[in-house]
Amino acid sequence: MIEKFSSKSARVKGLAFHPVRPWICVSLHNGSIQLWDYRVGTLIDRFEEHDGPVRGVDFHATESLIASGGDDYKIKCWDYKLRRCLFTLLGHLDYIRTVQFHPSHPWILSASDDQTIRLWNWSVRTCMSVLTGHNHYVMCANFHPREDLIVSASLDQTVRVWDTSGLRKKHSNENSGLGSLDDSMGRPPSGGNPGLNMQAELFGTNDVIVKYVLEGHDRGVNWASFHPTLPLLVSAADDRHIKLWRMSETKAWEVDTMRGHTNNVSCVMFLPRVELVVSNSEDRSIRVWDMGKRVCVQTFRRENDRFWILAAHKTQNLLAAGHDSGMIVFKLERERPALDLHKEGDKLYYVKGRELLVYDFQRGREQPLANLRRPGQYAQTDGIGNAPRYLAYNSFNPTEGNVLVCSDVDGGSYELVTFANSGSNSNNTQEGKRGTCVGPGVFVARNRFAILDKSRNIVIKNLQNETTKKILPPTPVVDMLFNGGTAGRLLLRCEDKLVLFEQQSRRVLGEITAPKVKSVSWSSTGLCAIMCRDGIIISDRNMEQLCSVSETVRVKSGAWDSSGNIFIYTTTNHVKYCLANGDTGIIRTLEQPIYVTKVHKKQMFCVDR
């Protein structure tokens, strides 16, 4: 898990990602609704009109609307631009568990402890349909992302799938499309037929019919959700099990059960971009499951906090989880690509999927070099952090190409790939040589590279992967190696400093205070840019500090320009420059993070995720 943002608050019961902006809406057990910018970590707004816990919250796909439902039996619709509640929908007779906007119709779906599910038209502020059939609390209800279906989960131990095509056809002439915010603010509630409304309240309507009733859980079901593209369902229950279901046009059936949680499972969902299922539980854990193998591939735990809710971003690899003392926004794997630039700056080596590739800047063309073996127990499971994290190219070897690809999975490992410089395809590539290491490996000579072993000793190896030397570090707690700028030199990261170390003579040549160093970049003029999580430090070749720059958001990448005097770097939301005298400035604002690879004259080359 890579944590991107966290907040401390009362118990979090509801979460929703904004579809476009870097915002997350959080509903709390104390009755408050918070709107956070998770990219910069700031609280944007707070809404506090509910009386009692707010258990459900959702963003509209295109309008500036937030829906919320709470223990006061009320559904409130808020405009975050106007910063106020527009209207309140009344009708439920008990706590409201979840609320959700329809992706394309002006509908809100709500589930309640009054044993009903309600469909509301928010543009005219009326209840369109009351879905009855569950005989215990309805813990959640979710729309299908593409089809006219709803899934609901109840403490009556069943999951129900409802067909809403009749309701859609009935209301298509009344309100086509998304519905308009102006309509919702300007049109009065429709009166309709009082007798029909009363009948709908008491007995429900036949506009929405039950398609399937899924029985299989031994205790109350807390959550159920659809797969975004496949005819699959997943459900979570107090029996501690997660069940996978498949649907056809005429029936639905249980496919498998995933076991591992040791307490009530609060929430479960399919991830939109990879074949994984994520669940959380009152056992204080989040579990990631391989959907094909039906096995748990990752587990994340908190010491004291039970988990209650999950949310997944529809277009980015972001998840959020709410627990007893706040919430976290996180990723399952790093999206920064493993890459390194040829010393001459004309080629970029990088990992994409399970391939090592080279990009020729002069020809504007990429070519594959080698297929890489995925490390770890679950090497075939994509999306759980088993991609290589570091890559180093051997700039000291003019006769052949050497690339060291390192991973953090299962304690750390490396793969040494060797290929002929004359060609750039897999026919010229030798079988990779492998071993274990901690953090990245670094080339120190034409035919030597250095790694940290499990005991944190510096190990020098030749290109046949044979150990030629083992060195005890000059300082304790070394946890990472970086390029030292010239042959034979290493930068050792230990606690909050970098130590410049000459491995042949085993001498310390200099050191600099630098907290949480992520990477370094050397210029052609002998300057070193040290990229920390929250800032940049520029030093000379002997680690004498020239300047430092602090950032309020995370530093993502950086590269020196062709003159070797201007350092261009990116943060979460900006492209910036830094000079050795400390002058800095913003070049442009970013919508999404990018990673600088090369700066030549007036051109900047970068890669995205």
Three-class DSSP category at 422: coil
- Mean pLDDT over all residues of the chain? 88
DSSP per residue over 258-290, as a string?
A: EE--SS-EEEEEE-SSSSEEEEEETTSEEEEEE
Give the tens place of pLDDT for each residue, 251-268. Answer: 999 999 999 999 999 999
Give the tens place of pLDDT for each residue, 572-589. Answer: 889 999 999 999 999 999
Structure token pair of residue 569:
């770097």
270 pLDDT tier (thresholds 50, 70, 90): very high
Structure token pair of residue 462:
């030749």
The residues pairing with 358 across neighbouring beta strands, listed in sequence order, are 349, 367
Whose tokens are 């997944």? That residue is 312
The pLDDT of residue 310:
97
**CB-hemisphere CA count at 13 Å for 80?**
23
CA distances from 448 to 279, 404, 435, 564 (A): 45, 11, 15, 27
Residue 583 — left, alpha, or beta (φ > 0 → left; ψ -120 to 50 → alpha)? beta
Phi and psi angles of residue 198, each rounded to the nearest 5 degrees, phi first: -65, -40
Structure token pair of residue 82:
């106007």
Name all domains of the chain by residue range, CATH numbers in brackets. Answer: 2-331 (2.130.10.10), 517-609 (2.40.10)
**Residues in contact with 386: Cβ distance below 8 Å, sequence separation at least 6, in sequence order:** 333, 374, 375, 376, 378, 379, 407, 409
Kindly tell me if the per-residue pLDDT of 508 is higher than 50: yes
d(CA 283, CA 306): 6
The CB density around residue 348, as the number of other CB atoms within 10 Å, is 20
Number of residues that make up the chain: 609
184 pLDDT tier (thresholds 50, 70, 90): very low
Cβ–Cβ under 8 Å, residues 405 and 390: yes
d(CA 81, CA 141): 27
Specify the amino acid at residue 334. Answer: R
Kindly tell me if the per-residue pLDDT of 568 is higher than 60: yes
Give the tens place of pLDDT for each residue, 297-344. Answer: 999 999 999 999 999 999 889 999 999 999 999 998 888 888 888 877
Cβ–Cβ under 8 Å, residues 58 and 99: yes
d(CA 341, CA 282): 47
Torsion angle in degrees (nearest 10) through CA of 416, 422, 428, 432: 0
d(CA 491, CA 436): 20
pTM of the model: 0.82
Rg (the chain; Cα; Å): 28
The residues pairing with 404 across neighbouring beta strands, listed in sequence order, are 392, 416
**Residues in contact with 433: Cβ distance below 8 Å, sequence separation at least 6, in sequence order:** 415, 416, 418, 464, 465
Phi and psi angles of residue 72, each rounded to the nearest 5 degrees, phi first: -90, 10
Q: Output DSSP code: residue 94.
A: S
Three-class DSSP category at 411: helix
d(CA 49, CA 29): 13
Give the tens place of pLDDT for each residue, 136-183. Answer: 999 999 999 999 999 999 999 999 999 999 888 887 755 444 444 544
Three-class DSSP category at 339: strand
d(CA 534, CA 201): 56
Give the tens place of pLDDT for each residue, 17-74. Answer: 999 999 999 999 999 999 999 988 999 999 999 999 999 999 999 999 999 999 999 9
The pLDDT of residue 476:
82
Structure token pair of residue 180:
């308009």
Give the tens place of pLDDT for each residue, 365-380. Answer: 888 888 887 665 544 5
